[in-house]
Amino acid sequence: MKKKRVKLGVIGLGSRGFGILKGVLMLLCEQGSIEILGVCDLYEDRAKNAFECVKEKTGKAPICTTDYREVLAIKELDAVLVMTAWESHIEISTAAMKAGKQVGVEVGSAYSIDDCFRLVRTHEETGKHCMMLENCCYGRRELMVLNMVKLGVFGEIVHCSGGYLHDLRSEIANGDINRHYRQRNYLLRNCENYPTHELGPIAQVLNINRGNRMLYLTSVASCARGLHEYIVENRGADHPLAKVDVAQGDIVTTIIKCAGGQTIVLTLDTTLPRAYSRGFTVRGTKGMYCEDGNYIHMEGESEWTPVAGKVNSADKYAEEYEHPMWREYKKNPVSGHDGIDWLVYNAFIESVAEKTTPPIDTYDTASWMCISTLTEESIACGGKPVSIPDFTNGKWILRTEQEETSDSMYCLSKIVKK
């Protein structure tokens, strides 16, 4: 593809940011799709590491700073990646749009509804987009199942579930006590703090903001036991972390009701021993998919088949229903999160280069990010249902078919013919 080379600033170079820089971004530089003009982190050592990495791999020295405004001030810049601590995602993203840059923001969530509206209003005022770089939307199974949903294989979809089911105790307990944003969030907040794995892929299945929307939610957290017990046993009862209360419940369950009548159950499950999963599950009137066990059950199969007997039955559907994006990707696979990072970053860079609306747009980003603050409110008030704002202000009713005309291979909402 002979596309415009996108001029990029990278803000936030902690573990995730630096990992993406070294992997996906350096490869995109090599391929000539992007050029990195600025790197920034609040901590000088991180910014310098990134600077050295870019300079060594590309031969060009980017601006290196601890103040993100210096990156936004680079005039030729087309876009920035925001990979900072969750708390600053919206602040930096809105500042970037106001500076005329397109924004790709890493996975995270919001701390107030007002901040989400600020994101949307800034997009509407500037015409710039803020795409959440939700890599799970580009998961292989997620896309295969989305393809099957769009083709009607599962009938009408009435329920989905999923979550972030990932034992993070070691990461949180061993993190630097001053710099680790996830750690400080776990100590002080109690909410669904990481909703977009698997809300992102579910939003595609249920056409959220495109003919459907999330109406209200209710959320309840279990007590917090796992992290403290882990800290005491692994870092000792005298460690400073062992002496502070953990606010974040071990398991947070959230039920979301949609305008179309569907329900979504989200689970945050990160501080107890478990095997990794995102628990992606789609239920329709003609069949279902379940990531746990990797199985598909279709209408007409025996209702008594025990679930354990169906394990890995999804594999046989791949030949017929693999998403074209993944058929293409598998020809030239690259490293990093099973290809999902590669796909989502390419989707963003393409939308910047082509000046198109990204497949995950600012309304999606805001409506996914708001879940965190709404669950915080619901949990604090004993599972009180809270309404989910319509950030589109009614445009979701008209946006039904909008995206299906996109000719981007990264488009999530169009129907892909076999």
Q: In the complex, what is the shortest distance from the CB of residue 251 to a copy of itself, in angstroms, rounded to a whole number?
A: 4
Report d(CA 251, CA 153) in Å as an integer: 32
How far is residue 245 from each of residues 5, 40, 225, 230, measured CA to CA in Å? 49, 33, 10, 13
138 contacts 325 by C-beta, under 8 angstroms: yes
Among 174, 263, 357, 402, binds a copy of itself (CB under 8 A): 263
Q: Is residue 240 part of the contact set for a copy of itself (CB under 8 A)? A: no
Site membership for a copy of itself, residue 166 (CB under 8 A): yes
Task: Name which of 295, 292, 298 is nearest 318 in CA terms.
Answer: 295
Out of 19, 23, 211, 260, point to the residue binding a copy of itself (CB under 8 A): 260
**Which part of the chain contacts a copy of itself (CB under 8 A), choosing from 8-16, 17-25, 88-96, 270-278?**
270-278
Residue 380 within binding range of a copy of itself, rule CB under 8 A: no
Question: Which residues in 166-176 are b (16+ Cβ under 10 Å) and which e?
Answer: bbbbeebbebe
- Our finding on whether 140 is near a copy of itself (CB under 8 A) is no
Subset of residues 50 to 109 that bind a copy of itself, contact rule: CB under 8 A: none
Closest of 146, 167, 168 to residue 157, by C-alpha: 146
Binding segment (CB under 8 A) for a copy of itself, from list 81-89, 295-303, 326-334, 368-376: 295-303
What is d(CA 44, CA 50) in angstroms, rounded to the nearest whole number? 10
Q: Of these, 43, 216, 337, 416, which contacts a copy of itself (CB under 8 A)?
A: 216
Binding status of residue 335 toward a copy of itself by CB under 8 A: no
Q: Which of 292, 338, 354, 390 binds a copy of itself (CB under 8 A)?
A: 292
Are the C-beta atoms of residues 82 and 108 closer than 8 Å to each other?
no
Give dist(CA 114, CA 157) in Å, integer. Answer: 32
The residue behind tokens 């021993």 is: 273
Please identify which residue in the block is written with the tokens 């009701």: 257
Among 48, 70, 118, 155, the residue binding a copy of itself under the rule CB under 8 A is 155
226 binds a copy of itself (CB under 8 A): yes
Positions touching a copy of itself (CB under 8 A) are: 155-156, 158-159, 166-167, 170, 216-218, 220-223, 225-226, 229-230, 249-251, 253, 255, 257, 260-263, 265, 269, 272-277, 283-288, 290-295, 297-312, 382-385
